[in-house]
Structure 1
Amino acid sequence: MHTNHLRIALEMVGRLCIEMSLTPSRSDPSRSLLDETLVYVYSDFGRTFPKQGSDHHPATCALLVGGGIQGNQMLGGYDETMNGSPMGAPVALVEEDGSHVSRAPRSQDIAATVMSAFGLEPGKDFFIPGGYGVFDGVVKS
């Protein structure tokens, strides 16, 4: 049942993005509304595989589409058994001090990446307690 609901929801997100890509921007008719908009879809928890029901697991996902994002890529992941790292596969991140690291992402990293895509500068326009990294290669420069 969850699969059907997720499919329907993602199909609606896809239709929204298509309509936005076909709608010219008011400020620049050579660009689309999707070029100027960041669509961000996020779930606050995941389900443990293969169980169905009300169990919660920290693994989750986020979708970023549109303005400011380098598209057509998937970052991170985990296997269906959830064996190995309980936090997911390591990804390339640029830490707040500018260093490049590879580690499992945290919710702070997603928030920092979204804010960077909006054009906000980490450390200048926002502060995230506990530190953060921006996903390397996701935000257009």
Structure 2
Amino acid sequence: MNPTNQVIINLVVSGAGPLARPPIDHERGATLTRAIAATVALFSLGACAAPTIRTSDQSQAAVGQVPAQVLALAGPYQDLQTVWLNPEDGCYWYRHGGQVETTMLPLRTGAGKVICLQNSDAPSAAG
């Protein structure tokens, strides 16, 4: 074996020279893995936001069309200008404008009970 070949083989085996692999930076790899995991988590949480969906048959009733009994039962913290009767569940709902989003919430009494229609079409406080 030629001495030049012996030197090249020794450099490759020892991890030095032009054919050697660069050292692996495990700390940099871990940081990159954490950054990717954080990005995936952020996008995943964004998908959890529940959209507010209104269908065309859920038209809002004017306050004049909401019975006085319902307005008397309603708690003071709700927007009574946006009350409407949901025909699917027979309960009254109102539009709540929060800091982040506007959503529809069930109309509640001062004690926190949901206001719905009974079978006789008279409003009641359901538990």
TM range (shorter): under 0.3
TM-score by length of 1: 0.18
Q: Pick the structure with greater CA Rg.
A: 2
